[in-house]
Amino acid sequence: MLEYLESLPLIDHHCHGVFEDDPDRAAFEALLTEAQAGGPPGVSMFDTQVGFALRRWCAPVLGLDAHAEPDAYLARRAELGAAEVNRRFLAAAGLEALCVDTGYTPRALLDPPALERLAGARAHEIVRLETIAEQVAADGVDAHGFADEVRSRLAARAPDAAGAKTIAAYRAGLELSGVRPSDAEVTGAAGILLRQEEMRVGDEILHRFLIWCAVDLGLPVQFHVGYGDVDADLRRGDPLLLISLLRAMDAAGAPALLLHNYPFHRQAGYLAQVLPNVYVDAGLATHNLGHRAPALIAELLELAPFGKVLYSSDAFGLAELYHLGALLFRRGLAGFLAGGVEDGAWTSADAERVAALVASGNARRVYGI
């Protein structure tokens, strides 16, 4: 089963750019954690599930033995240079297409066309909704013109975008009403935003407004759910909090894609089963769980219909995360499907059909790519 999955190109439906330069050890380790920096003195991010997975599976791509020591790994990485490292890992991921979130750029990242060249795969943009709203606010629009300007800018981006993404989970939490906000509510919330020193969308009304703008344009909407960096309040990141909004989106025929989901992946699987418009993945957590990734994938697939599960890496910064995400996902899904064949739960033909759906077929259908 693994050999078959390795032959299938993946659609990575949520990912980010990678850095063009060579990080030092501290910067490299900081990219192996969702914390703001690597561990305190005496604590290494190489001594984590993702750290051990990187040494096991990424070292050979750089021409080293599996389990190469961290210093040897980083020295070889620097010797090859960022351009060659990025090329090797993007190519090794075995991708058919990428859907790239371009809304978070704390420093220069390779853009979708550059990723497309390195991966040998089509790259599509995912528009981050809050970034558009914050750009509009920063450009000096007044509260009464805010909504129309946001709609106009999003409409201009929509034809070239595969979908949109909201980070409401980081700002207001996921308990979002299913009611479309009125123009007066949006104007009032925009006025508060425009009076802030930092143009940072965090009002539940504005998050809902942005989501409905994307729905009105026919864009699939991605939701950050659960696991994320220290800015996220995980108590407010349970996807069950989205139920009212998801029902309203379903009535409008709008696909909702729940990203990451850990540790709420079972709740996400439930939502994918009971709501026709909900789709799920296990991105970000897959590479962070390393050796335990197969358990995560199996738990996601307990309730989620196989036709509603997608692949994503959520790779950011390090090209290794593209390779690790793809490799661990393929291995985890292969083990799950092969176990079902061995137990007589499904046939080999069934397993191959499901593998093709999850690898790319489901994403191709939802995004129309």
Residue spans per domain, the chain: 2-19+96-367, 23-80
Interatomic CA distance for residues 274 and 238, integer angstroms = 16
What is the structure's pLDDT at 41?
A: 85
Of 297, 369, 290, nearest to 336 (Cα)?
297
Helix (H) or strand (E) holding 165: strand 161-166
Whether 15 and 101 have beta carbons less than 8 Å apart is answered as: yes
Residue 69 clears pLDDT 90, i.e. is over it: yes
Options 2.60.40.420, 3.90.870.10, 3.20.20.140, 3.90.180.10; which CATH number does 2-19+96-367 get?
3.20.20.140
* 39: confidence class by pLDDT, cuts 50, 70, 90: confident
Largest CA distance in the chain: 63
Whether 285 and 315 have beta carbons less than 8 Å apart is answered as: no
Mapped onto helix, strand or coil, the DSSP state of residue 257 is strand
Per-residue pLDDT reduced to its tens digit, 197-225:
899 999 999 999 999 999 999 999 999 99
